[in-house]
Amino acid sequence: MVLRGIWAATLVSASWIILQNLLMFARPAENRFRVMLVGYLMSLPFVLVVYYYFLQLPFPSGSPSATESPKLGLIHAYFFHLLLFFFYVQCFYHVERSVTLRLLVELYRFGCNGAPIQSIQGRYPVEDMIRQRLDILHDRGFIKLRDGAWHLTLKGAFLARITVSIAWLYQAQGQHERS
Amino acid sequence: MKGLLVSLVALALNIISSACAAHLLRPKRYLYLFAISSVVGSGVYVLLFLVTPPDLYFLPTAWSINESRLDLFYGFIIYFLNCHTFVDSFFATCGGFSVALLVAMLKNGHKLTSTNELMGKFKLQPQPQQRRMAPGLGPVDGRLVPQESDRIYAWRIPHLVARGYIRRDEIRQVYSLTTKGRFIAIVTFALKRLMNLGEGG
């Protein structure tokens, strides 16, 4: 039962992720996280459908899985489906937002001759990085602009406080404190 | 079900032990710390799985996975995915650029935070004030190379050189990709195209 639940979760996850990425070519979305969340939520009923389809298939004779509770398989199917969603979102942001990966891609574009650091900084200046992120944070409701200054919203302050707590717990420094 | 529950226990131990290790060791880069604690945690997971009974003393028979090897493997996959979520959450918050901006605003208190002020927080001190620590020599004043003018490139470029992703041509003063760096760049470029993403970063 559990193995069938895992297969159902994997199949449904792979299907909606492929479909969602194909749709992004037809109609690109500004807020990709919302699209991923909608894709995940819309795929939830399909986990049930696919799992019950798999349950109808006969078990090999003497298989120990045949005596397991069908509910157990369903719980694992939904749990695994959720973890695969998290994994996809995390991988997406590794590719989309990573400064280091962007830096490597910029150097790749310069070809085998390479480039001085000023050229890389010219194509990808820190000022642009900051402006781009402030726009995104503003769009997502983490900050607001008042009298020419940025202020944290409740959501932004909550995330910042959580980060400060985690940083204390792990004695870590943020990007604005490194040198 | 046993594999899932044991993997959650191993994950909790991993999170607690890595926090304790971070307090004791104060690492500069956290990826190694998390990699080591995750590997140790996976060993703990296997050990706990092998020494505990199939019902963990409380699970009903119907809630047990009858194939022990499947249960072990499935729990391991769950453990890996949860470790990935944990490490990713850490880097998205403590290492994330966007969140660093939020923290900078929070630490600024009720003072006004303009875009220029935020940009200033990512700039390093101008050349005359910058004192650098040279190994074996202590603090020295020296001319900064261009990437050291901001906090984004200052640690990232030497780190990428040290990890073998890029190399520096000392004569021409240029940086180029190594084979390893080129491979990562091509994979990233292909993934960005597959997902129809812009430049990003």
* pLDDT of B39: 94
A111 in a structural domain: no
Closest-CA residue of chain A to B82:
A83
Chain A residues 67-96 with CB within 8 Å of chain B: 67-69, 72, 76, 79-80, 83-84, 86-87, 90, 92-96
Cβ distance B102 to A159 less than 8 Å, yes or no, reads yes
Statement to judge: residues A93 and A154 lie in one domain:
no
Cβ distance B105 to A76 less than 8 Å, yes or no, reads no
A155 in a structural domain: yes
Whether A56 and chain B come into contact, CB under 8 Å, resolves to no
Q: Which of A2, A116, A170 sits opposite B90 (nearest CB)?
A: A170
Least reliable range by pLDDT among A36-45, A59-68, B52-61, B123-132? B123-132
Mean pLDDT, chain A, rounded, equals: 86
Residue type, B196: N
Taking only the tens place, the pLDDT of each residue in B9-34 is 999 999 999 999 988 888 877 888 89
**Chain B residues near residue A80 by CB distance under 8 angstroms:** 78
A93 in a structural domain: yes
Global pTM reads 0.79
* Distance separating alpha carbons of residues B145 and B128, to the nearest angstrom: 13
Q: Which of A21, A68, A113 sits opposite B66 (nearest CB)?
A: A68
Statement to judge: residues A91 and A145 lie in one domain:
no
Cα-Cα-Cα-Cα torsion A149, A153, A155, A161, nearest 10 degrees, comes to 60
* pLDDT of B41: 93
Cβ distance A108 to B197 less than 8 Å, yes or no, reads no
A122 in a structural domain: no
* Distance separating alpha carbons of residues B72 and B88, to the nearest angstrom: 24
Domain residue ranges of chain B, discontinuous segments joined by +: 2-95, 117-162, 165-201
Statement to judge: residues A15 and A93 lie in one domain:
yes
A8-17, A63-72, B59-68, B136-145: which has the highest mean pLDDT?
A8-17
Full domain range(s) for residue A57: 2-97
Nearest to residue A166, comparing CAs of B39, B34, B112, B109?
B34
Q: Which of A133, A174, A179 sits opposite B94 (nearest CB)?
A: A174
> At B134, is the secondary structure helix, strand, or coil?
strand
Q: Which residue stretches of chain B have pLDDT < 70?
A: 110, 112, 124-151, 200-201
Closest-CA residue of chain B to A6:
B74
DSSP state of B170: T
**Rounded to a whole number, what is the largest CA-CA distance in chain B?**
72
Per-residue pLDDT band for A79 (boundaries 50, 70, 90) equals very high
A156 in a structural domain: yes
Q: Give the residue, A8 or B97, on which the prediction is more confident.
A: A8
* pLDDT of B134: 47
Q: Which of A86, A95, A127 sits opposite B188 (nearest CB)?
A: A95
| ipTM beyond cut 0.85 | no
Cβ distance B175 to A171 less than 8 Å, yes or no, reads no
Taking only the tens place, the pLDDT of each residue in A144-157 is 888 888 888 999 99
Cβ distance B200 to A72 less than 8 Å, yes or no, reads no
